[in-house]
Structure 1
Amino acid sequence: MLALANYSMKGPMQANIAVTLLSALSVWIAPIGILAGGIIALITLRVNAVEGAKSLIWAMLVQIALTVMLNGSYLPAVIAIMEYFLPVFVMAVVLRKTNSLAQSLHLGMLMIGVALVAFHLMVGDTSAWWLTMFNNQIKPVLDTAGVDFDASFVPQMSQMVTMLLAVFALILWFSILMLGRWWQSQLYYPGQFQQDFHQLALPKSTATIAVVIAITGLIVGQEVRLLYDISGVVIAALMFQGLSIAHFLVRSRDASTAWLVGLYVLLFLLPQMMLILATIGLLDSWMNFRDRGKTQ
């Protein structure tokens, strides 16, 4: 992957070729969009926002053209653009100007928050909307394929879909942005990415608002679905701060990286780990674990 990033930085033509090919491949293999988004972020961070915008436009044009040719609809392309390209570019512009991962993460939270408000205003009852979509679009396909599923679980799951998609979007966008930042560090500023990530900390004001939203959302989530959905986004953002603290402490105490491997395994296997890390990230806004780690 580093060789791919290095090739894309040899000039504008190479950058456009890399983004175009990756965007085209992502039409068939969606996760390749992560690499395309990472290249767009890298170009934006290393060169300038104008060149980043040019690579973004190439990725969008290729995505739309191929998707329309193959599926006869541009909707999947729009989803892919919003999933891998456009929000990452906007966050990369902010990161370039502020040199702060926390500010970029904060922007990601705001974008998703606005999208959630708009979705709730347009749809109304989001749970009913997802349930209707399942019954009209997915259930007939499952029935035709003879797939057995627990019908009683569907209504419960429909209440969580919006929140889960919002959490997924924030984690994906910020991860792609960090990939671009890591490439930039590896190619031009060795060790800088580690320093940036270790310093990741949301402002106290954001943390205060976050805890109010999270607690309120968890308490009245069933009645106020929007707050419940936003609380999930807040937890995901604070999780990154918790991960930053874990990486810093392992590094500062010269501990084995096995601790981090175990942490990511638990995070993958146990969803509760996200809440634990978010709690650590939240407490860090007042207790500053990293300063304490330096003095020990």
Structure 2
Amino acid sequence: MRALANFIMRGRVQAVIMALLGSWVPLLSQGALGLVTLRKGWKEGLIITLWASLPAVAALWAGDVAKVMAVAGIEVMVVAYLSSVMLRYTVSWSAALAAIVALSSFAALVAVLLVEDISSQLVAFFQTMLESQAQNPPSAETALLTNWSTARAAGVIAMWISLTTFAGLALARWWQAMLFNPGGFRTEFHSLRLNASLATAALGGVVIAEFNGLEYGFWGLVFGMPLLVAGIGLIHCFVAAKKLGIWPLVAFYFGLVLIAPLGLLVSLLGFTDVWIDYRKRFNLVQPK
């Protein structure tokens, strides 16, 4: 990973190459444009973002993929760039997470306006993916792709953009710390604590989505992402402070994927940490 980061920072041509390769390697484009933006500023980052968006623009022009996927591909690069700008100039993960949620939601609404019958296009895309993986997809998975509303389709797009943007931005910040500030990303992530306004707004968004039923379930995941990320940062801080090693984190991430209520519990930790401050209360001092 250090070799990739070094290659990106060698010059604009190298960064463009890695951004273009991101069309085949997940998160590479977001990581490359994020690293350049964080280190060199918004102007240089914008150039890399335009190049990173080129494959999606070409696909949209040529009609090689579903319009919804080409539009979402362009949007994810724009959101990743703007979120990187936010983190660079505020040096605040709370601000960056707020930007990711707001921009991803806005991008999903723009996609609804630009793509006709967006739900049908998205369902057709997922059906094609299922059929390519198995000749006879499970009936349960097929049932999930029926009767999609525009709200659900927009929620899926917003969730995909927000998750990939955060993952790419975290990768970029890790690369930046690896090259120029060893241990800096670890310290930032372990100390990540939301402000009261963001935490309250996030919880409010989750509650509203839940009260509106399954059609808005994906929107609940989008709005709840800052709470979940803050909770994960707190778990990492606890494991590091207690010197428990890597295996508790491995088990934690498996549980996060396989046990749905665990995600709710972690999000609750992220929310209550705003007022309780678990790090201070339990003396979770960073080990040297």
TM-score, structure 1 as length reference? 0.80
Q: Which amino acid aligns with 2:249?
A: L
Instruction: Quote the Cα distance in structure 2 between the aligned partners of 1:61 and 1:135.
Output: 24
Mapped contact 1:64–1:74 kept (Cα < 8 A) = no
Give the corresponding residue for 1:256.
245
Instruction: Quote the Cα distance in structure 2 between the aligned partners of 1:157 and 1:290.
Output: 46
Q: Which amino acid aligns with 2:8?
A: S
Superposition pairs for residues 211-250 of structure 1, below 5 Å?
A: 211-221=203-213, 225=215, 228-250=217-239
Q: Is 1:18 the equivalent of 2:18?
A: yes
Give the corresponding residue for 1:279.
268
Q: Percent identity?
A: 27
Question: C-alpha displacement at 1:120, in angstroms?
Answer: 7.2
Give the corresponding residue for 1:7.
7
Give the corresponding residue for 1:41.
34
- 1:50–1:132 CA distance, 2 compared to 1 (3 A): closer
Question: Structure 2: where are the runs of 5+ without partners?
Answer: none
Instruction: Quote the Cα distance in structure 2 between the aligned partners of 1:35 and 1:132.
Output: 26
Instruction: Quote the Cα distance in structure 1 between the aligned partners of 2:114 and 2:144.
Output: 22
Which whole-Å deviations, capped at 9, do the CAs of 1:236-284 have from their partners, x for residues lacking one?
2211001000011111122222111110111122233222211111111
Instruction: Quote the Cα distance in structure 2 between the aligned partners of 1:134 and 1:66.
Output: 19
Question: C-alpha displacement at 1:88, in angstroms?
Answer: 0.8
Query: What secondary structure, in the 3-state scheme, does the structure 1 residue paired with 2:27 have?
Result: helix
Q: Which amino acid aligns with 1:200?
A: L
Instruction: Quote the Cα distance in structure 1 between the aligned partners of 2:257 and 2:208.
Output: 26
Q: Which amino acid aligns with 1:19?
A: A
Question: C-alpha displacement at 1:48, in angstroms?
Answer: 1.3
Give the corresponding residue for 1:65.
58
Give the corresponding residue for 1:206.
198
Give the corresponding residue for 1:158.
148
Mapped contact 2:87–2:96 kept (Cα < 8 A) = yes
Q: Which amino acid aligns with 1:95?
A: L
Mapped contact 2:205–2:224 kept (Cα < 8 A) = no
Q: Over aligned residue pairs, what C-alpha RMSD do you find?
A: 3.5
Query: What secondary structure, in the 3-state scheme, does the structure 1 residue paired with 2:166 have?
Result: helix
Query: What secondary structure, in the 3-state scheme, does the structure 1 residue paired with 2:136 have?
Result: coil
Instruction: Quote the Cα distance in structure 1 between the aligned partners of 2:222 and 2:17.
Output: 34
Larger radius of gyration: 1
Instruction: Quote the Cα distance in structure 2 between the aligned partners of 1:34 and 1:132.
Output: 24
Which whole-Å deviations, capped at 9, do the CAs of 1:105-163 have from their partners, x for residues lacking one?
1101111333455677899xx9xx73696489948x96xx9635437834778365543
Give the corresponding residue for 1:109.
101
Superposition pairs for residues 34-183 of structure 1, below 5 Å?
A: 34-65=27-58, 68=61, 71=64, 76-83=69-76, 85-116=77-108, 130=119, 134=123, 138=127, 147=136, 149-150=138-139, 153-154=143-144, 158=148, 162-183=154-175
- Which stretch of structure 1 is more off in the superposition, 197-206 or 43-52? 197-206
Q: How many residues get paired?
A: 280
Which whole-Å deviations, capped at 9, do the CAs of 1:168-216 have from their partners, x for residues lacking one?
3212110100100000000110000011111222210121222233223
